[in-house]
Structure 1
Amino acid sequence: MKQRLFSILKFIGFMILSLAPLQILVILIGSQSQFSTMVNSVFGIVFFVLTISIIIFLWKRYIRYSNEKAQKIGLRDLGFAFLFFLMARVIAVVGTLLITWIHGEDMTANDEAIMSITDNSGDFLAFYFFLFVLSLSILVPIAEELTYRGIGANLLFSKKRFWLPLIITSLVFGLMHSPTNIISFLMYGCMGVVFFLSYHRRKNILDSILVHIFNNGLPAIVITLEFMGVF
């Protein structure tokens, strides 16, 4: 019992650690006007180094708890990744439509928070904007997959389990994306299920990371085009 409780506390710590980079970047972006370009550049470099260090730390813990080796991704695996990505997109679109229909909201609170950061994108330092897009599209998906699918599924459950880690890690994933109603909670939870299935197919964390990057890449592209004034 004590060991299980300790494992849960460690998992909570890993979740907080995976959330830290984006939260720190939001603070840096919000306070950028208070510092010179040189100071902001130093902060940005420190942030990038810190984020990479966190990802390396999470990767090592994932390897320790899972004893798995990352497998190469071939064309067949790319095809599966794209199919899982389409599943995630269908869930996101249907969930957003239901939220709009039932609650009259254009998007989830999580998406609204992301978009609010870029509402004044014209005031962004280009360096911070690059870090934001890089974090949203690549760094955050890597950290989240290592935490939820990699560490969570292997730290808290035995390798023979399937349904319990799928359900628990997906529900936690949904809770950590700021749901304000049952639909947004289920939407992110179901997306967590898709990411888990993509990981579990070969027990390869690179597969779910790729699907997550595909998924987050869409809003990152839209935000970048808006920043560039394309539309």
Structure 2
Amino acid sequence: MKKTGDQLDIIVKILILIGMFLLVLLVPTILQIGGAFPNVSWAIYAAAVLFIVVYIGIAYLGWWILKPNLTRPQFTKFTSEEINTVFKTYGLILILNMVFNIVMKMVFHSDATENQNNINALLSSNTVTLIVFGFAGAFIAPFVEEFIFRGIIISYFFKHRAWWLSIILSGVIFSLGHASSNPISFALYATMGMILAYTFKKSGQIKMSIAVHMLNNTVAMILTIVGLLLTK
């Protein structure tokens, strides 16, 4: 029987979180290695397949760790009220992102975060990577990141006290996982992480924050890919 967060030593919980955090940071390296051999087509395809397999494996591992800590069904059918909440939450994230981006452009004369620049560079490397990373970013990353940055963090740390502390912690660690070149871009991702954490904690269902995250990533990926294709 797997242990819940309440049954684990704090050191073990921290090590689990660090391990999952590093896996999320390192998995894009697989695509970068494949792209380092542009004249070897099989290397690019092999890297793409390995990336998807490993990423899905990380998602499964995150769910395996998280599941014992959950006390209610998580992936029930969405109600109309829940769908409405998902779109409202995404709208809030969209507005805040626009505000942060405007301030970042005014202060740092940049309208893109370092994380977005890294994504653009990876998507621009080759067509296979564009398709695979675009798909993974929209449909796999929301599961991976929500299981880790929302589910595990909130279930493992401050679960029974300091209601807002786990939300803040979730946002800060989520932002640490996204490259930030200045305090405003860091605040942007931290705020998004806190909104997703609040959504999960308030609803008690990880499907809610996953749905918001997936909607956000899908729209962002579509706009990014269209923008890259138009500039070629």
> Which bin holds the TM-score, normalised by the shorter protein?
0.7 to 0.9
Task: Note if 1:15 corresponds to 2:21.
Answer: yes
Deviation at 1:34, TM superposition (A): 4.0
CA shift in 2, pair 1:227/1:97, >3 Å: closer
Q: Report the CA distance shift for 1:67/1:11 in structure 2 as closer, same or farther (over 3 A).
A: farther
| Alpha-carbon separation, structure 1, partners of 2:139 and 2:87 | 16
What is the DSSP-based 3-state SS (H/G/I as helix, E as strand, rest coil) of the residue aligned with 1:70? Answer: coil
* Sequence identity percentage: 23
User: Which residue number corresponds to residue 155 of structure 2?
Assistant: 154
- The aligned length equals 224
Matches within 5 A, 1:46-57: 46-57=50-61
Q: CA 1:68 to 1:18, structure 2 compared with 1: closer, same or farther past 3 Å?
A: farther
The aligned residue for residue 70 of structure 2 is: 66
CA contact (8 A) 2:28 2:51 kept: no
Give 1:124's match in structure 2, choosing from 122, 126, 133: 126
> Alpha-carbon deviations, 1:156-211, whole Å to 9, x = none?
22245411101111111122212222211111111111111211222111110110
Q: Which has the higher contact order (CA 8 A, sep 6+)?
A: 1
**Matched ranges for 1:139-150 at <5 A:** 139-150=140-151
CA gap of 1:217–1:32, structure 2 versus 1, over 3 A, is farther
User: Post-superposition shift, 1:144?
Assistant: 0.6
Q: Which amino acid aligns with 1:26?
A: Q
- CA distance 1:204–1:227, change in 2 (3 Å): same
- Secondary structure at the counterpart of residue 25 of structure 1: helix
Unaligned runs of 5+ in 2: 1-7
Counterpart of 1:163? 164
1:23 partner letter:
T
Query: Given residue 128 of structure 1, which amino acid in structure 2 is its aligned partner?
Result: T
Distance in 2 between residues matched to 1:132 and 1:197, nearest whole Å: 28
TM-score after normalising by structure 1: 0.87
**TM score, norm. by length of structure 2:** 0.87
- Give me the CA root mean square deviation: 2.2
The CA deviation at 1:155 is: 1.4
- CA gap of 1:89–1:26, structure 2 versus 1, over 3 A, is farther
**Aligned-partner residue type, residue 108 of structure 1:** T
Gaps of 5+ in 1: none
In structure 2, the CA distance between the partners of 1:227 and 1:102, relative to structure 1 (3 Å rule), is closer
Q: Paired residue for 1:84?
A: 89
Q: How far apart are 1:97 and its partner, in Å? A: 0.6
- Counterpart code for 2:147: L
Distance (Å, rounded) in 2 between the aligned partners of 1:149 and 1:173: 9
Post-superposition Cα deviations, 1:119-150, rounded to whole Å, max 9, x if no partner, equal: xx3x623x332111012212112111110101
Alpha carbons 1:171, 1:189 under 8 Å: kept: yes
